[in-house]
Structure 1
Amino acid sequence: MSLRVGIDIGSTTVKVVVLDEHNKLLFRSYERHYSKTRERACQTLRSISEMLAGQQIRVTITGSAGLGVANAAGIDFVQEVYATAAAVNTYIPDTDAVIELGGEDAKIIFFGGALEERMNGSCAGGTGAFIDQMATLMNVSVQELDALSLKHEKIYPIASRCGVFAKSDIQPILNQGGRKEDVAASIFQAVVDQTVAGLTQGRELKGKIVFLGGPLHFLMGLRERFVDTLKLDADHAIFPKDGDCFAAMGAALCAADYATAPFEDVLKKLEESVETTTAVDTMPPLFNDQEEYDAFCARHNANHPPEVDAKTYTGPAWLGIDAGSTTTKLALITADGGLLYTYYHSNEGNPVAIVLEQLKEIYALCGDRIQIKGAAVTGYGEDLIKNAFSCDLGLVETMAHYKAAAHFRPDVDFIIDIGGQDMKCFKIRNGAVDSIMLNEACSSGCGSFIETFAKALGYTIADFSKLGLFTQKPVNLGSRCTVFMNSSVKQAQKDGASVADISAGLSTSIVKNAIYKVIRAASADDLGEHIVVQGGTFLNDAVLRAFEQELGRNVTRPTIAGLMGAFGAALAARDLHLDHSSLLTADDLAHFTHKARPATCGLCTNHCSLTVNSFDGGRRFVSGNRCSRPLGEEPSRQPDLMRYKYAKLRAMQGNGAGDGSRGTMGIPFGLNMYENLPFWFPLLTHLNFQVVLSPESSRKLYLKGQRTIPSDTVCYPAKLLHGHVEALVEAGVDSIFYPCMPYNFDEGKSDNNYNCPVVAYYPELLAANVPDLKKVRYFDPYFGLHRPRDFAKRAEAWFAEQFQIPKRETAAAVKAAYAAYDDYKNDLRAKAQEFIAQARKEERPILIVAGRPYHMDPEINHGINDLITSYGFVLITEDSVAYLEDKAPRHVLNQWTYHARMYNAARYACTQPDMEVIQLVSFGCGIDAITGDEMRSILEDGGKLYTQLKIDDINNLGAVKIRIRSLMAAIQARKQRN
């Protein structure tokens, strides 16, 4: 048999193997291709020409980027799942499942019977690209990240769905002193969780599992997390010696089915295909010539602070520190905003050390000539830096950015700040931040998006950005996720687009993502007349030009666009008008020490991951807490209807009237049971069932049911139900009652009274996907409570059939259940009025938290209600005031009970001067894409602020704090104006 060659062209690497007739590996290579796929494959084949010259060989190509190369070169192609399966069946024949991680692909293949494969779709979370991104974030190599992870002491919950999510979890841990070793291991755990939860989709991983792909081949820490999580021993966790090249080996095995060809002919075909090009979709150039570019630069460079020579200046100065998510910025200014000193650098995961070093530099520069009269700090690390160095003021970053923007453009009405992985946009109305938009699920519109491609193509970001300024044919890449965009870039390269064309196209993609995905603007007028752009990404002239072209208007970019947070903080420090600053002196800094240790708070069900920071002189700062309990204080006990409702529902467990003679009936405490439990509990106890509620939701409960979740995109409240029903089975209940309910109660405020499809039909999904439910009697009948007479007939028949309960007894129980539900609703409304009266007596602002009933679950809202009341708000919920407004026409189809309540609560807030609204939205809730726009419309038309908080299974509240504090600042500014 002739030699067989397998070529696996993946998203980031090219693997080439040569097998002999006994399937023995004669050659293997694993190389990054930097998007030059065909060139890399040709190079590798040339390097082994001595081995293959003059021979008849069989060649097959596989891999996510292999099909285009195979077609262009006229070489046989085999789909990668079949290639991997061929290698596994040949070399490890008793395999039950394969987990394979590549650069941007993640897949699980189940063996035994029919081959079944699950693969990531629209997101590269949990792949090699994600790990690369996280290593960059922590300023270490991937190998260093791996070494760090092996020394971990604890695991933090971190999202791996996207760089944005992960960074919003990691950065606060680093900024607040968390250990890099713990974060590194947590990153690998996030990859494991993403793979298991996202790809198993209800099928259990068991038996002998083979781990393949580069990340699992090279990273020992990642292997350790998989083995620990899946509880595998050495006989069931297999890491093949050539696991990074397994798909290529499979391709070589499959080549046996294809014809032979002379090695020289194969190499020639590949080399000729490198030059193949087709038509590319292009856009107008960014700049037509140098003259146009020079005029553009002159216009933007005019926006700069006064120039001051720090070596000769004498007098007062003010310091601003922006402890950002990935970078630390400092600005020392004079009274008129002149810059004496600036600093902009990666915080390397240790902002305290960076600020300490910079303060020493600043004191050396100041000497006796310059006196620092005030210091303010903003950004993710605000609390830590403020406590570490005794700064005079901490301010929310939206206010810092607004102050800076207004300095250059007093009439600014829209600010957009694009950083490495963050995007913040805020409208300014009447001199205050009016509404805030942050990217929360995707980083494809941010600076790291371009940086990722620059690195993949072998350029620095600065050089890469300049390449596209004058190209005449920027390629149209659309505006999509990094994974999809990578495919577009590769296709454009295959079609003959130059790196310059791609660079210009990516700049336009960033802008389109920002305008149409984050801001969701219909036109430039939606943004405003006087736009100020900020953030390091806008220092890229290509992005700035693309932004102006897309909007069709000029914007203001200060020359210090990357320093605006620090500059705004310095202006805020100046406006304090202090005689002297409390900032640590040069002498204090000489004795400064900082140590950080991780801890977990066990004082409530949130189990916050704390970082205890210790400074010289016995000073301490605890971060990661959502209330004041870990500080030795009782949390705020402002009136909180969300907490009141939750306690009232949980208290039902011990208050049933039934004698339990008909057995134990389990009810999963989730989704619509937060709405309907006050009905079902009395009904079942009147029928003499002993009702058992599932335990309080927790991360541990979620993980209990994780393997049975068939969809990664369904909302977290739904995912939790799997753990709830598993827990009830473990508790040994006789039956579980969880009815399907397409309709909710009809409150007469909407066009119809549906439950959302997930809430309505999730009981059936659980029946189909949770095997343990076969151990108990599981009831998921269809019921509708909105028509009492019809429901009574249906219930009488159903309980008679299933439990032989006399119809008269069921009728009495139904009557009691409707009365109990009415009592519950009336109690909530009365309690809300009591809280409102108390707030007004104490002159406190009132916040209506509008969401869905299950958003009161502490594991779902992650203690947002505690955070809100800690800022002095009195909290009531939408269902306690919605009845005060009548039905009104809406711009959208208003056919869900929960939505109608939110709309009415928003309308009611518009009539109350001391009320504001925050809307809670579950990430992954498609219906809330509609409610968000409608809520914004109602509130803005009524002169109120719209604030949306998107909540998921990851519990970092950084973005939540920004929004709540910005809301407070806007309320304060409005008070001052009035």
Structure 2
Amino acid sequence: MKVGLDVGSTTIKCVVLDGAGNIVYSTYERHFSHILEKSGELLRRVAAEYVPGGRAEFAISGSAGMGMAEGVEVPFVQEVFATRVAVNRLAPGTDCVIELGGEDAKILFLTGGVEVRMNGSCAGGTGAFIDQMATLLKMTADEMDEAAARAEKTYTIASRCGVFAKSDVQPLINQGARAEDIAASIYQAVVNQTIAGLAQGRPIRGNILYLGGPLTFSGCLRESFDKTLDVQGVCPENSLLFVALGAAFYADREFDLNEVCQRLAERGASETYRSQPPLFESREEYEAFTARHARASVLRAPFRADYAAPVHIGIDSGSTTVKLAVIDQEARLLFTDYRPNLGNPVPLIREALERLYEEHPALHVASVTTTGYGEDLAKNAFHADYGVVETVAHFTAARYFLPNVDFIIDIGGQDMKCFKIENGAISNIFLNEACSSGCGSFLQTFAQALGYDVKEFAKLGLFATRPVDLGSRCTVFMNSSVKQAQKDGATIENISAGLSISVVKNAIYKVIRASSPEELGRNVVVQGGTFYNEAVLRAFEKEMGVEVIRPDVAGLMGAYGAALYGRGKASPGQTSSLLDRTALAAFSQETESRVCGLCGNNCQLTVNTFADGGTFISGNRCDRPVTGRADTGERNLYAYKRKLILDYKPVPGRRGKIGLPLCLNFWELLPFWHAFFTKLGFAVYHSPLSSRDLYLKGQGTIPSDTACFPAKLAHGHI
């Protein structure tokens, strides 16, 4: 009998074949990074129930199987070779294989010379990416596939990186785009990423075979590939098992599977990874740490039902959460509300305000201030008095706790903000622009992948004895580092501590780009929900070499700072313009998505209309949708230049035709090249103006997945 084991980045597959090559047993399971334990459990089951005497010809394959195969001295079959062996045996005549796994993507060309293309530096467009996007839409992967089948339109979404995709998807959610349309757009982004990143000039045609979890489980993803490539691909029976089948077909050495399990157990007991000092040396050190941070508490006052003194409300509408804080004239905290925004913060803010009115009939609201991503939306919807940019809101709150603060770091779910303070004013701001590997969602993603709640996962690392040294890298590479550490025997506790330390190193050395912690400042306030994680807080103090202030309202600092800002701006006896109880009860919001069309940008607008007739438009890159004035082209230098360039027409020549791509420097220099080649006797033609369709036409010829977008666009022009 033959046994093939495929240990992938997120799943483990096993097949048992009889002497005639028929499948006796197969399984496909997520391993949640417990690779050694899961492999041992599977092999014991196979040896006991399906292989007489426990002896069979055995081989291992898969992206996470190589080190394991070496450790237990079993032949390793490279997964591309294993796929090819299985395809040649089970699907002869296949021209091209497209395989998407948990973190890897492959295109295998089998005719006209065997050639394989694999993703290298990025896991965008793989199963892990789809899982991440499904989580963002509050769906399972199956629910996302069902939703995509009901889509009516698609949006342009980046798939090069999960962080960039979140930056595209989150505004669509916030602006009320249909979840069905977003789901279909995510699948189309996966298709574009696979073709643009892996085809590299070789056309994908003929008999196409779809393999791997994402393509097996998602009919919409297969349809998107078929439509984009203009082919009719096939997802064969046992498409999830082709690598394991290839390993089994290739296996030619017999092993006692129980002995292999024993060697796996012995190897799992050793720890060979690089480690760092523990976060806490003793329980006493931890208790002193918690007692010190408990002192940074905001003053609170009772908020009784008959409360009638003036209050100031701060509303922080963030990328993933909505926070609300109510303070009195002495800046004492009366009430807080903190909840996920579920894609639309407006109903949640309304609910919190109605609760305030209901529980405190005599409430006198002196001011309401909004901040965060949804600052303008919340301000327009509820007639708030002030809007304040979130950097100022956070600075206002930090200064309340530490008047001489000279450095503030705020780590949220997807974003990170750091402010340098000099002479009582913000002198420099650092933001994470292209990566969220040092943010809360980074830790949350890992916790979920390892099967833990994020709070429970954070606590595990507090007393780890040998935290894993993971460096400070992107989420995708960190995934590989974590898996390698697990293969090297690291415990969950040591991985949790290592990830918390990595968050801090990423913030200091990748986002802020500090050469040393000393240059950031010595009077530091930390805030944002991520700093509720005591492992991250401790790692930050150890790396900075200074004791910092972590307020007990670290996750509410935007809302608290906005309330403080409003308190400072309000005049004595002022009453807020906030909607009263009657208006709030009658409040309604209607959201409509439409294309502006007043200029060539064709912005996808989200128009919010409220019960009182007010409107708020988002998604616009200029004020034309608000004013309703179209672009007339008057005094528009770009429009004038475009007209001049497009006025260059081909002149019939004795030497035939020549085509120029109207992009990059050919756009700037068209007058020269047109005159040059016309004088030489050519009729000069150029490609049409840049468009999304033009880009898609050329994406199969892009030779490198690291080329910038203008360079990728040039392929469509050519």
**Band of TM-score, shorter chain:** over 0.9
Matched, 1:300 2:298: no
- TM-score for both structures, normalised by structure 2: 0.94
Matched, 1:330 2:317: no
SS of 1:139 mapped into structure 2: coil
User: What residue number does 1:290 align with?
Assistant: 283
404, 407, 410: which is aligned to 1:411?
A: 404
User: What residue number does 1:389 align with?
Assistant: 382
User: What residue number does 2:7 align with?
Assistant: 9
User: What residue number does 1:475 align with?
Assistant: 468
505, 513, 538: which is aligned to 1:512?
A: 505
605, 610, 628: which is aligned to 1:633?
A: 628
CA contact (8 A) 1:377 1:569 kept: yes
**In structure 1, what is the Cα distance between the partners aligned to 2:677 and 2:29?**
65
User: What residue number does 1:76 align with?
Assistant: 75
SS of 1:131 mapped into structure 2: helix
Q: CA deviation at 1:508?
A: 0.9
User: What residue number does 1:274 align with?
Assistant: 268
493, 499, 502: which is aligned to 1:500?
A: 493
Alignment of 1:617-766 (within 5 A): 617-634=612-629, 644=637, 646-653=638-645, 661=653, 665-677=658-670, 679-681=672-674, 683=676, 691-725=684-718
Change (3 A) 1:559 1:638: farther
Change (3 A) 1:586 1:676: same
SS of 2:4 mapped into structure 1: strand
SS of 1:238 mapped into structure 2: coil
Q: CA deviation at 1:474?
A: 1.5
Q: CA deviation at 1:426?
A: 2.8
**In structure 2, what is the Cα distance between the partners aligned to 1:686 and 1:385?**
62
- Give deviations 1:528-583, integer Å, cap 9, x for gaps: 23322221111111111111211222222211111112222222322331622222
601, 611, 628: which is aligned to 1:606?
A: 601
User: What residue number does 2:165 align with?
Assistant: 166
Q: CA deviation at 1:520?
A: 0.9
Matched, 1:118 2:117: yes
**In structure 1, what is the Cα distance between the partners aligned to 2:321 and 2:467?**
31
- 1:174 maps to amino acid: I
Change (3 A) 1:684 1:133: same
416, 420, 434: which is aligned to 2:413?
A: 420
Q: CA deviation at 1:634?
A: 2.5
CA contact (8 A) 1:657 1:686 kept: no
**In structure 2, what is the Cα distance between the partners aligned to 1:639 and 1:284?**
66
**In structure 2, what is the Cα distance between the partners aligned to 1:137 and 1:432?**
36
**In structure 2, what is the Cα distance between the partners aligned to 1:18 and 1:349?**
46
- 1:254 maps to amino acid: Y
**In structure 1, what is the Cα distance between the partners aligned to 2:696 and 2:594?**
21
Alignment of 1:225-236 (within 5 A): 225-232=224-231, 236=232
Change (3 A) 1:43 1:413: same
CA contact (8 A) 2:24 2:50 kept: no
**In structure 2, what is the Cα distance between the partners aligned to 1:403 and 1:201?**
51
- 1:539 maps to amino acid: Y
Q: CA deviation at 1:522?
A: 0.7
CA contact (8 A) 2:43 2:258 kept: no
**In structure 2, what is the Cα distance between the partners aligned to 1:638 and 1:653?**
16
User: What residue number does 2:243 align with?
Assistant: 247
Q: CA deviation at 1:604?
A: 2.4
User: What residue number does 2:611 align with?
Assistant: 616
**In structure 2, what is the Cα distance between the partners aligned to 1:336 and 1:186?**
50
User: What residue number does 2:353 align with?
Assistant: 359
Change (3 A) 1:153 1:37: same
**In structure 2, what is the Cα distance between the partners aligned to 1:305 and 1:605?**
51
CA contact (8 A) 2:649 2:684 kept: no
Q: CA RMSD in A?
A: 2.5
SS of 1:237 mapped into structure 2: coil
- When structure 1 is superposed on structure 2, of 192-201 and 573-582 the one drifting more is 573-582
Q: CA deviation at 1:675?
A: 4.7
Q: CA deviation at 1:278?
A: 4.2
**In structure 2, what is the Cα distance between the partners aligned to 1:410 and 1:589?**
38
CA contact (8 A) 1:139 1:349 kept: no
Change (3 A) 1:627 1:57: same
CA contact (8 A) 2:44 2:257 kept: no
Matched, 1:587 2:582: yes
19, 22, 27: which is aligned to 2:20?
A: 22
Q: CA deviation at 1:141?
A: 2.1
CA contact (8 A) 1:53 1:263 kept: no
**In structure 2, what is the Cα distance between the partners aligned to 1:99 and 1:194?**
13
Q: CA deviation at 1:700?
A: 2.1
CA contact (8 A) 1:179 1:597 kept: no
- 2:642 maps to amino acid: R
- TM-score for both structures, normalised by structure 1: 0.69
Change (3 A) 1:439 1:668: same
User: What residue number does 1:459 align with?
Assistant: 452
Change (3 A) 1:702 1:430: farther
User: What residue number does 1:318 align with?
Assistant: 312
34, 42, 52: which is aligned to 2:32?
A: 34
User: What residue number does 1:555 align with?
Assistant: 548
- Give deviations 1:353-393, integer Å, cap 9, x for gaps: 2222222222223321x212222222222232223222223
Q: CA deviation at 1:521?
A: 0.9
Change (3 A) 1:89 1:523: same
CA contact (8 A) 1:658 1:688 kept: no
User: What residue number does 1:903 align with?
Assistant: none
**In structure 1, what is the Cα distance between the partners aligned to 2:181 and 2:235?**
24
**In structure 2, what is the Cα distance between the partners aligned to 1:687 and 1:581?**
74
Higher relative contact order (CA 8 A, sep 6+): 2
**In structure 2, what is the Cα distance between the partners aligned to 1:678 and 1:412?**
57
Change (3 A) 1:502 1:93: same
CA contact (8 A) 1:316 1:372 kept: yes
CA contact (8 A) 2:398 2:405 kept: yes
- Give deviations 1:651-710, integer Å, cap 9, x for gaps: 333555996556665433322335544654555567776654433322222112111111
User: What residue number does 2:208 align with?
Assistant: 209
Aligned positions, number: 713
Matched, 1:447 2:440: yes
CA contact (8 A) 1:658 1:686 kept: no
**In structure 2, what is the Cα distance between the partners aligned to 1:177 and 1:63?**
41
**In structure 1, what is the Cα distance between the partners aligned to 2:25 and 2:648?**
72
Alignment of 1:50-69 (within 5 A): 50-54=49-53, 56-69=55-68
CA contact (8 A) 1:598 1:611 kept: yes
368, 374, 393: which is aligned to 2:367?
A: 374
**In structure 1, what is the Cα distance between the partners aligned to 2:648 and 2:182?**
46
- Give deviations 1:427-478, integer Å, cap 9, x for gaps: 3344443333222322221122222222222221111111221223222111
- Give deviations 1:278-308, integer Å, cap 9, x for gaps: 4332212211122222222233222222111
Matched, 1:575 2:568: yes
Q: CA deviation at 1:603?
A: 2.8
Alignment of 1:940-959 (within 5 A): none
CA contact (8 A) 2:590 2:608 kept: yes
Change (3 A) 1:435 1:675: farther
476, 485, 490: which is aligned to 2:478?
A: 485
CA contact (8 A) 2:659 2:684 kept: yes
- 2:360 maps to amino acid: C
- 1:358 maps to amino acid: A
Change (3 A) 1:576 1:688: farther
Q: CA deviation at 1:506?
A: 1.0
CA contact (8 A) 2:650 2:685 kept: no
CA contact (8 A) 2:3 2:57 kept: yes
- 1:624 maps to amino acid: G
